[in-house]
Structure 1
Amino acid sequence: VAAKFRALFNLAILFIHCRAHALQLAVISAADSIPDICKRLSTLKSLVNFINRSSVRLTLFEDIQSIFRNNHIKLIQPGDTRWLSNSLAVRSVVHSYQSLLATLENIYNENNEDSAEALGLYNILSNEATAFIIHTLQPILDTLAVLSKCIQTKSADFKQ
């Protein structure tokens, strides 16, 4: 937005981000400086795309959730700029972790064109470091989502 105003009016405009956007930029910068977090969030994007872009794979995932007696959890696509979506994405993966592993294993065992990708995602998702990072990120991102919502309210009081 700031760049559009500067280009449109050819002025040196001082642009002040809203508090939530400033928080978002700080979180993005912090996360980008930690390669393991970047790698795991990228894996989540690939995982969600892999499951959601095929009605057959999505149905299999939903069926496996039923077997595990999980509520039908919708996988959320993590966003590059919306950290609230990252919170929802990580939470959806954490809550359906075993179902996702079983789904990927099932797809791999079918020995079709999706098997290699399913195996790659399974190996990353079942890795202890990935499990640790994803499970550690969830409460952090949930807290940041609450903070982001709070500072967007008109009644936010920062004097306290």
Structure 2
Amino acid sequence: MSRLIMGPAGAVILTICLVLPALSSELTPWPPRDPGQPEASIAITKAWVTALRETRDFASLQRAAGAGGKLLAVETDPETPRAIYGWRGHDGRGQMKVFLYRTGDFGITATPADGAGEISMNNSGAFVCPSCSPPVDACGRRPSWVSHSVHWDGSDCHCTITGPQTLRPGPC
């Protein structure tokens, strides 16, 4: 019977090899494929977008839309690569753009067909709907794409609700 003898360096390497795959929660393959389904099976309305508020994963969002979306672009910023998907509502009623990150997190900007103005949200619980009654302006939890070096409060979250953006003094 053989015995495994290793020093501290070997133990560190073994730990890294065993732990890193378990910690990886990134989407594979990357970049994601294009489903080529830009028309949702529903109209994109304020009520429908509001119902997405509890959606936490991209596949659930696609099921809710009744279509996979259209891959519009893949941004390869090494710090925060993202894929941008687009949908238009059934019969051209409303539109939605989704920013999907390697981690599986996403942000949404939607322009509902019923003239509600733009609604922004993400899968971390942020939801901004100025035309809702009453208006909603919720930051939610800190999304994975927001660095912990950024102070996370009501003024910062609006600059980063759908993804990384440069924070600067005043409105972003």
Which TM-score tier does this pair reach, normalised by the shorter chain? Answer: under 0.3
Instruction: State the TM-score, normalizing by the size of structure 2.
Output: 0.25
More strand by share: 2
Structure having greater relative contact order (Cα 8 Å, sep ≥ 6): 1
